[in-house]
Structure 1
Amino acid sequence: MEQWFGVLLLLGLGVLLVDLVRRLAVGELRTGTFSIFLWRGLVDGLIIALAAVGLSMTYAILRFANFSHGDLVTTGAFTGWTAAYVVGGIGIAEMGSRILLNADRGTSARELDMHLFGAPLAIVLGLVIAAVGTILVALAIDRVVYRRMRNAGGIPLLIASVGIALALRYVIVFFYGEHTRGVTRSSPRFEHDLVFWTESLHVHQSTLVVVGLTLIFGLHLLLQYTKLGKAMRAMADNRDLALITGIPTERVILMTWIIGAGLTGMAGYLIVLEQETLSFNTGWFLLLLIFSAVILGGIGSIYGAIAGGLIIGIATNVSLVWISGDLTEVAAFTLMILILILRPSGIFGGVETA
């Protein structure tokens, strides 16, 4: 029964691809519009991929689904943009208003000229602080909670992570309030003469793509060509064997949290740079897509998480050809179901290694 359902979904996907080619051929869908969908899919996909890498690393090394991961995304967003406001608002707004990200309506992104060209130092520093702040929070949680439960099994750790998610979320609400706020100005744009692209180039989106690709390439180099990367892969394959062969497992776990949390925090910061708004639910709303990317690529595979994130980002945007924006996530989840029916272990075969 499952195979027939998968075949039907696959046939439906084939029909959509044929229809997409037809629309492009007859001019019903302009090439420029389609290229914009692909570009925005790459932007969204990189955000999901960066966050999914951290979740996949946690699972590969510690063997539990971390439901507090979405709130670590939010933590990175708030810590990073708080730092950006503190630096960018020097001599312009009061410190209290800057620290609380305009919770008292005492300052604004327009007043601080908060965009990449208006406050470049503040925004770059904010990206660094987003990573550092998220790392410190993740390490504190691991030391207080997860380390004490290391041998308790996946289910107790999962339940604990749900409690941590709620605690993180409402600590943020306590300090910053519940309202959604705009924290950046609209992105500057570059005009161009590309005939296949009808929209001007967003500087913030381009920055996100450059930073995201650089981080992913750096992670690849770390995993494949460093002693730490080899130790992480060995521990993901067999933790007991890694311990017997002399690999310092606790050090590897520490570095897993540092790398995963750093990427997660930067993903949270970058999504706000692109979307311009910030809420205490920012990471929570993204969590389902993050889990989908990890499952789609193959649980425990870092490269699978990257591929899954990119596929989901592109699928949700290209689906705008047929459905409204409110339903685009349906396309991503349908694609995930299709792949899991045809290949239950995910695209990368469910390898539980880096």
Structure 2
Amino acid sequence: MATVDEAVNRGRGLTLEQIVLILAIFAALVLAVDLVHGIVTGRYSISRIGRYAWQGLMYGLIIGLAGIGLSMTYSILNFANFAHGDYISTGAFLGWGVTYIIAGRVLVLGDEVSFGHLALVAPQRGVGGAEIGISIWSTPLAILIGLVFTGAATAALVLLIDRYVYKPMRGSGGIPLLIASIGVAFALRYLLVFVYSSRTRGTTSTFGLPEFNFLLVDGTVNVDMHDATLLVAAGGLMIGVHLLLQKTKLGKAMRAMSDNKDLAQVTGIPTERVIRWTWIIGGGLAGVAGYLMVLWTGTINYQFGWLLLLLIFSAVILGGIGSVYGAIVGGIVIGLAMRLSLIWLPGGDFTTITAFLIMIVVLLIKPSGLFGGKTTA
């Protein structure tokens, strides 16, 4: 009787997956037909669709880059780090403070703008990216130094937090670490408010910024130098992570710890060293992702990383929690889905709902995610 019940339950599970798959395919076909009909009749502009697709790719690269660290943390340390979003915000503020200092001093703003105001990303006196003229075109050295400093500073920050918060609790299991990470998130977020204020401020200037115009049938898609910087930096770092995981001893040790931590310890892999490098790489990439997002959007505030965290989690789960490649692909899928949904939806929270809906559908069809299974590689 038990065998029959198990067979029936398995049959029900398969039936549910098949129903969800059929509904998903049907919905995709309806949207595809509507999209084609809208393009033919002129209701939907090809250039508008192209702009949404490009913006979605940019957004997806940020989500995917930030998701790498979250995925590595889960696969090696076995806990969901809710402070990851605030690493993104903190690193971005630190890096943009350095960028403002270098750019402000080079462009000689005057004695009335103090070092402190520049370091705090100008929360007062109306000094912003437009006034200083910060952009990848006009102040490339300041941007580059700020980007490198962001990665290094965020990596140092997460190592410090691990040393005094997570390491003493490492043997307690994933739940205590998760709760501790929530506390770290709140502490960092309101420390940012205390130091930098809660104001949203502009960070860059688009005046004189070169653009590449891609001609489509009924318009153009404009790609500026900040878009290109994001594409090159994020793509290069993702390739670097791939090479690290596949071609180096550290990468092999990370993959071994992800597969079986106890066996890795028995075989002599220096687990503490691997954990430190996991924090360095994951934290550094989180900070860089935050810096690049601020460069791309041109604004910064204390909670943008926290708001981004939900999308990062959805991307990591969609791609297969614990998979670095899954986090990258999941991020791009989420980014594209959010922006392309603007073809049919009014925007705002509806685009976020679209991202989570896609995640839920994929997980119902394939519960382990697109790349299935818990693996760093």
TM category, shorter: over 0.9
Matches within 5 A, 1:1-354: 2-3=16-17, 4-5=19-20, 7-90=22-105, 91-92=108-109, 93-105=113-125, 107-186=127-206, 188-192=209-213, 194-195=215-216, 198-326=220-348, 327-354=350-377
On the 8 A contact 2:215/2:221 being kept in 1, the answer is: no
SS at 1:175 equivalent: helix
Q: CA separation of 1:109/1:193 partners in 2, compared to 1, >3 Å: closer, same or farther? A: closer
Q: Deviations over 1:190-243 (max 9, x none)?
A: 253633561332211111011111111111111111111111001100001011
Once the two structures are superposed, what CA deviation does each residue of 1:124-144 show, in whole Å capped at 9, x if it has no partner?
A: 111011101111110000000
Name the count of aligned residue pairs: 354
Preserved contact between residue 10 and residue 338 of structure 1 (Cα < 8 Å): no
TM-superposed deviation, 1:352: 2.8
CA distance in 1, matches of 2:75, 2:66: 15
Q: Percent identity at matched positions?
A: 51
Distance 1:132 1:120 in 2: 19
Aligned AA (2:137): F
1:312 aligns to what SS in structure 2?
helix
Q: Mark the CA change 1:195 to 1:291 in structure 2 (over 3 Å): closer, same or farther.
A: same
**1:192 aligns to what SS in structure 2?**
strand
CA distance in 1, matches of 2:20, 2:328: 27
Matched residue of 2:215: which SS? coil
Report the Cα offset of residue 60 of structure 1. 0.6
2-structure distance, mates of 1:310, 1:15: 23
Q: Deviations over 1:36-59 (max 9, x none)?
A: 111111100000000101100000
Q: Residue type matched to 1:45 in 2?
A: G
* Structure 1 runs not aligned, ≥5 long: none
In the TM superposition, residue 349 of structure 1 has moved relative to its aligned partner by: 1.2
1:13 offset after TM fit, Å? 2.6
C-alpha distance in 1 between matches for 2:206 and 2:61: 20
C-alpha distance in 1 between matches for 2:316 and 2:290: 17
Could you say what secondary structure the match of 2:235 adopts?
helix
CA distance in 2, matches of 1:234, 1:94: 50
TM-score normalised by the chain length of structure 2: 0.90
Match of 2:5 in 1: none
Tell me how far apart the structure 2 counterparts of residues 206 and 73 of structure 1 sit (CA, whole Å): 21
Deviation at 1:350, TM superposition (A): 2.2
Task: Give 1:9 deviation, angstroms.
Answer: 3.8
- 1:143-184 C-alpha deviation (Å, 9 max, x unpaired): 001111111101000000000000000111111011111111
Is this contact kept in 2: 1:68–1:161, CA < 8 A?
Answer: yes
User: Is this contact kept in 2: 1:297–1:350, CA < 8 A?
Assistant: no
The 1:214–1:191 alpha-carbon spacing in structure 2 relative to 1, beyond 3 Å, is closer
Runs of at least 5 residues in structure 2 that lack an aligned partner in the other structure:
1-11
> What secondary structure sits across from 1:184 in the alignment?
coil
For the residues of structure 2 that align with 1:191 and 1:233, how far apart are their CA atoms? 40
- 2:123 is paired with a residue whose SS is coil
- Amino acid of the structure 1 residue aligned with 2:143: I
Alpha-carbon distance, 1:185 to partner: 1.4
Distance in 1 (CA, whole Å) between partners of 2:277 and 2:63 is 21
**Aligned AA (2:136):** L
Tell which deviates more after alignment, 289-298 or 92-101: 92-101
> Which moved further from structure 2: 323-332 or 42-51?
323-332
Give the TM-score of the pair, scaled to structure 1. Answer: 0.96
Aligned-partner Cα distance in 1 for 2:221–2:118: 34
Q: Cα RMSD (Å) of the superposition?
A: 1.5
Conserved? CA contact 1:182–1:278, under 8 Å? yes
C-alpha distance in structure 2 between counterparts of 1:337 and 1:147, whole Å: 33
Q: CA deviation at 1:120?
A: 1.0
Structure 1 residue 5: Cα displacement: 4.7
Higher alpha-carbon deviation: 198-207 or 320-329 = 198-207
Task: Name the SS of the counterpart of 1:198 in structure 2.
Answer: strand
Which digits, 9 at most, give the CA deviation of each residue in 1:227-276, with x for residues without a partner? 11111001100001011111100000011011111110000000000111
Which structure would you say has the larger Rg?
Answer: 2
> Structure 2 CA distance, aligned partners of 1:152 and 1:20?
52
